[in-house]
Amino acid sequence: MNFKHKTNVIVIGSGPGGYSAAFRCADLNLNTILIEQYNNIGGVCLNVGCVPSKALLHLVKLISEIKTIKSYGLLYNNEELNINIIRSWKDKIIIKANGSLYMLAKARNIKVINGYSYFVNNKHIQVNNNKSISVVRFETIIIAAGSKHIQLPTIKPICYKNIWTSSDALSLTIIPKTSLAIGGGIIGLELATIYAYLGSVVTIIESFNQLLPAVDKDIVNAFIQEVNPKANIILTTKTIAIKSRRYKTYTKLYNKDIYTVLKSYDIIITAVGRLPNINILSLEKTNVKTIKGYINVNKQLRTNISYIYGIGDVIGIPMLAHKASNEAHIVADVIAGKRVYFEPKAIPTIIYTNPELALVGYTERKAIEHNISYEVSIVPWLASSKAIISNTSYGITKLIFDIKTNKIIGGLIVGSEAGELIGELSLAIEMSCDAEDIILSIHAHPTLYETIAIASQLYTGTVTDLLNNPKKH
């Protein structure tokens, strides 16, 4: 066998998990090769996922704020949005981020190979691109190949220009007059938010009886109250057929109340979930074990073969960029001989819609499932002067405490900048803080994050911004 490359560590995939692992390995003086199937590094997240979607969500948030200012009579400019300029602005952000990654890789002497990776056996992989085929022998390999969108079984395996994946939607080629987002999860809601604020009449359908089934219903209801005017939400409904004809796409929807209804939309966005990218790796040529379609790893991210590791989407949910990048640091340290493990107490989830929704740790539903004696403390943002000033008084901060220890075990926030506020709760859970720890950490006023302190005071019966529970004092 003709070997073109030999290295200490190979990383398959250059998303947040892959490039973080490669960079950290290089910093630990490990000779590292980073393999990416596409021309640009950064993976789905940077190129057709997190970065472009959050850029557009930031833009539509600004549009929303401008509309609010106009409603006060403070602005009179009615200029229309230019989709071409928006797309160019979004693409420039991606190009800039890509350039930064290439500079960091070069500075660390990491070799980047573009091409598709296939395992030959437990010690070699083959990399194919349009120009050549390379065989690489490795001492250690990190599989960070990411995930792909789930294809709806109701869509025939042919290309419809008006049936979009999330990647298609973020290309921003047109603003459809009407659009349907299939899937009421994070991706579906974020894309629906973007297109609703850009002027499309958006409908969201979800097969469950609520959006975001893993989130507590009271938080979801507060979220829906703000989202409903911008998008039509249909629950407990399935798509049983999709057909594309000329410029319209026809969907047959089913639920137990309306049975079947035929509706037409200019564009349909499918966002029903993602699957790990492991079937393209020829893992069957190795002895690596999988469970339910995911690569099986231990707390050091090792597979059953000690020098083959897996991180990110390929090892299971939650499929989050920040989870992958944290795993990347752990796995690099393990390879370098350090005795470390990936065992976080909680991983935050953020939905960058308008309003934002964020959660970390236990929800009420999860606490009940685990037989935890808990108590909830909820602060409506009407009690926050900063929320009133910021036109976000509809928001809610909800904390969940373990009654036996008074420690915070979970938190959910809906409202402006929820994704930033959840950071304090993530740290509090990781550090095993109790309610008094949060209260004694002085929170600035007026701020949105002081609602976390107020909720903790409400739990202990020491609150002054709201009425206390008589049982608490």
Q: Which residues are 234's β-sheet partners?
A: 205
Backbone φ and ψ for 55, nearest 5 degrees, come out as -60, -45
Of 124, 370, 445, 473, which is the active-site residue?
A: 445
In whole angstroms, give the CA distance from residue 19 to residue 112: 10
Question: From the CA atom positions of the chain, what is the Rg in Å?
Answer: 24
Candidates 194, 231, 200; CA nearest to 56 is 194
In whole angstroms, give the CA distance from residue 251 to residue 165: 16
* Known binding residues: 54, 183-190, 206, 273, 313, 319-322
* Known binding residues for FAD: 54, 313, 319-322
Secondary structure (DSSP) of 193-209:
HHHHHTT-EEEEE-SSS
Q: Which residues are 242's β-sheet partners?
A: 251
In whole angstroms, give the CA distance from residue 293 to residue 76: 55
Contacts of 221 (CB under 8 A, 6+ apart): none
58 is catalytic: no
SS (H, E, C) 131-171: CCEEEEEEEEEEECCCEEECCCCCCCCCCCCCEECHHHHHH
In whole angstroms, give the CA distance from residue 86 to residue 81: 8
Contacts of 181 (CB under 8 A, 6+ apart): 188, 189, 191, 192, 195, 202, 203, 204, 205, 231, 269, 271
* Known binding residues for NAD(+): 183-190, 206, 273
> What are the distances in angstroms from CA 430 to CA 72, 135, 311?
43, 43, 21
Please list the alpha-helical segments (H only) found in 228-320: none
Instruction: State both tokens at 73.
Output: 């009579």
DSSP-based three-state secondary structure for 24: helix
Beta carbons of 320 and 349 less than 8 angstroms apart: yes
Contacts of 122 (CB under 8 A, 6+ apart): 286, 287, 305, 308
Q: Identify the sign of the CA torsion 109, 297, 335, 280.
A: negative
In whole angstroms, give the CA distance from residue 410 to residue 429: 7
Q: Which long-range contacts (CB under 8 A, 24 or more apart) does 304-309 make?
A: 305/122, 307/138, 307/139, 307/140, 307/141, 308/122, 308/140, 308/141, 308/143, 309/140, 309/141, 309/142, 309/143, 309/334, 309/335
* Catalytic residue IDs: 445
